[in-house]
Amino acid sequence: MLLTVLNSAKTFSRHLRLNFKRIVTTWPFRTMSVGKVGRNNWPVAAVCQMTSTSDKTDNLRVCRQLISSAATQGADMVFLPEAFDYIAENKDESIELSENLDGDTITAMKDAAKSHGIWLSLGGFHQRGLNGVDSRIRNSHVIINSNGEVVEVYDKIHLFDVKLKRDGIVQLKESAHTLPGTRVSSPVSTPIGRVGLGICYDLRFPEMSLVLKQMGAEILTFPSAFTSVTGQAHWEVLLRTRAVDNQCYVVAAAQVGQHNGRRMSYGHAMIVDPWGKIVASCDGEVGVALAEIDLDNLRKIREEMPLDDQRRPDLYGSVAVCDSGFCKILII
């Protein structure tokens, strides 16, 4: 969600006191991990948590340090949250601060990927609109390989337009300054597996995750900026459910803390395995958590419980028909 959140500081401060998982190291960022990183030869994913503001230079500094910290600890792919580039004070500022894919922000991330020899998932880049008729941005999930090349861009298709009354008011209308995407991107082959791309609110639509799984995804990723109200109620249960339903790893980078006077995020970035177990997680601070991605275990789970073979589309329909990784989306 790249919009203004109105919420009570009292409610959020209570969330930050949660001691979510044990701390492994504390400098330069807190590194929270419950995975057995380094004990096997499996690839390593790093999920990041940060507090973006409207200061793009400082946000970029934090991103570089998170990437460097993850790379030093052996990560093969680093996942940054939605709005890693900035969280603006208002709609006009959000549009004004946006950039194209060839702007300074993505150029800096390309350089970081290349210099560390690491893949990056940049979830929720404010991409400037391409036409002169509609000034709205796109909320874009950008994948950069270890050569510093953009290999995929997914534009968020489900926009967060809600008005909640829970412990204060959460009112957002993402469509006011964001254009919805028009396609589900094919999963990207990476050093840690085939990664299916989503962003934040996409998490709430199980059909999208199922389509990505049927297209060959082994890892679903939902970089987010969940509000404190919705995060406390739904964040963990949604992530673990998507992992179990689709027998996939789920990697969810997160925004955390107070961004400005009107906006705060829940945090609790995590990696969930295909059995629904949280294998790495962050608490209420800026930091990074790492976990090995055991694709042998993923395949074992799918073999032991062959959900795809047991589905009954003859009774309740399908969201897609897939063959050899190519899917035709159906309208039910």
What is the rounded distance in angstroms from the CA atom of residue 10 to the CA atom of residue 87? 21
Which residue among 200, 248, 282, 327 is the active-site one?
200
- List the structure tokens of 184: 């589900």
What is the rounded distance in angstroms from the CA atom of residue 201 to the CA atom of residue 203? 5
Q: Is 165 a catalytic residue?
A: no
Q: Is 63 a catalytic residue?
A: no
Q: Is 173 a catalytic residue?
A: no
- Chain centroid to Cα 323, Å, comes to 27
Q: What are phi and psi of 197, to 5 degrees?
A: -100, 125
Which residue among 156, 218, 292, 327 is the active-site one?
156
Closest to 79 measured CA to CA, from 118, 125, 124, 122? 122
Contact 225, 82 (CB under 8 A): yes
Which residue among 82, 174, 218, 292 is the active-site one?
82
- Chain centroid to Cα 119, Å, comes to 14
Q: CA 140 → CA 1, 27, 43, 271, 312, distances in Å?
A: 12, 30, 25, 21, 34
Q: What share of the chain is helix, strand, coil (3-state, %, to 5)?
A: 30, 30, 40
Contact 182, 157 (CB under 8 A): yes
What is the rounded distance in angstroms from the CA atom of residue 10 to the CA atom of residue 325? 47
* Element of type H or E holding 69: helix 56-72
Secondary structure class of 262 (helix, strand, coil)? coil
Cross-strand pairs, 143: 121, 152
- List the structure tokens of 245: 């339903």
What is the rounded distance in angstroms from the CA atom of residue 235 to the CA atom of residue 222? 11
CA-CA-CA-CA torsion sign (25, 241, 151, 80): negative
DSSP string, 3-19: S-----HHHHHHHHT--
Residues annotated as part of the active site = 82, 156, 200
